[in-house]
């Protein structure tokens, strides 16, 4: 039973890693030579920074709130 779960997870992880590697190679080849790609990625810079700061704030709030209780 447990070996089936481990096999399923390992297969899924390998597929995800392969997909991310392929996307990284594809984007890496176009990173500086394609102005459209650069424009689209820079549009999401502020959103990504806000998401990281928001998740960090939620983490700190959760830890501090848990400590008070």
pLDDT attached to residue 33: 85
The pLDDT of residue 6:
86
- The runs of H, that is alpha helices, within 1-69 are 2-30, 35-43, 45-68
The predicted model scores a pTM of 0.50
Q: Report how far residue 31's alpha carbon sits from residue 24's, in angstroms, rounded to the nearest whole number.
A: 10
How far is it, in rounded angstroms, from Cα 52 to Cα 13? 24
Low-confidence ranges of the chain (pLDDT < 70): 1, 69
């Amino acid at each position: 039973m447990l070996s089936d779960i481990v096999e399923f997870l390992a297969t899924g992880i390998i597929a995800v890693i392969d997909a991310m590697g392929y996307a990284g190679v594809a984007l890496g080849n176009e990173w500086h030579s394609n102005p459209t790609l650069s424009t689209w990625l820079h549009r999401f810079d502020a959103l990504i920074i806000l998401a990281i700061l928001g998740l960090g704030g939620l983490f700190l709030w959760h830890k501090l709130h848990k400590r008070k209780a």
